[in-house]
């Protein structure tokens, strides 16, 4: 479980400091209640799913852009020259 990623995504705007990678190193600075380790653990799978979906969306957008450039008549070499390749 990546506590910093969870806090950044689920508790945006909250103030906290994480010393190390474990819950024991979490210092909560916001006025809101500090989330429990169990609460963070519970949302970790959905955060991972979001991250994977975002990565896939970037890959899909890149593939779409490559296809559009090819449809405009660019060669594979020209597409690669843009720094794009499948």
Boundaries of every domain in the chain = 3-81
- Please give the structure tokens belonging to residue 70: 């090819």
Residue 86 has a CB neighbour count (10 Å cut-off) of: 10
- Give me the mean pLDDT over the 56-71 stretch: 91
Q: Please give the Cα distance from 39 to 79 (Å, whole number).
A: 46
Q: What is the pLDDT of residue 70?
A: 86
Q: What is the pLDDT of residue 74?
A: 85
E strands, the chain, where? 16-18, 26-28
Q: What is the pLDDT of residue 86?
A: 56
CB contact at 8 A, 82 and 69: yes
SS3 content of the chain, % helix, strand, coil (to 5): 60, 5, 35
Task: Write out pLDDT tens, residues 1-53.
Answer: 999 999 999 999 999 999 999 999 999 999 999 999 999 999 999 999 999 99
Q: Looking at the predicted structure, is the pLDDT value of residue 83 above 90?
A: no
Q: What is the pLDDT of residue 85?
A: 67
Q: What is the pLDDT of residue 76?
A: 78
């Amino acid at each position: 479980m990546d506590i910093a990623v969870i806090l950044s995504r689920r508790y945006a705007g909250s103030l906290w400091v994480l010393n190390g990678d474990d819950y024991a190193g979490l210092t909560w600075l916001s006025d809101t209640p500090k989330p429990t380790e169990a609460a963070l653990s519970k949302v970790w799978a959905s955060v991972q799913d979001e991250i994977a979906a975002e990565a896939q969306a970037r890959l899909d957008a890149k593939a779409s852009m490559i296809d559009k450039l090819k449809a405009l008549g660019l060669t594979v070499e020209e597409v690669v020259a843009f720094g794009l390749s499948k």
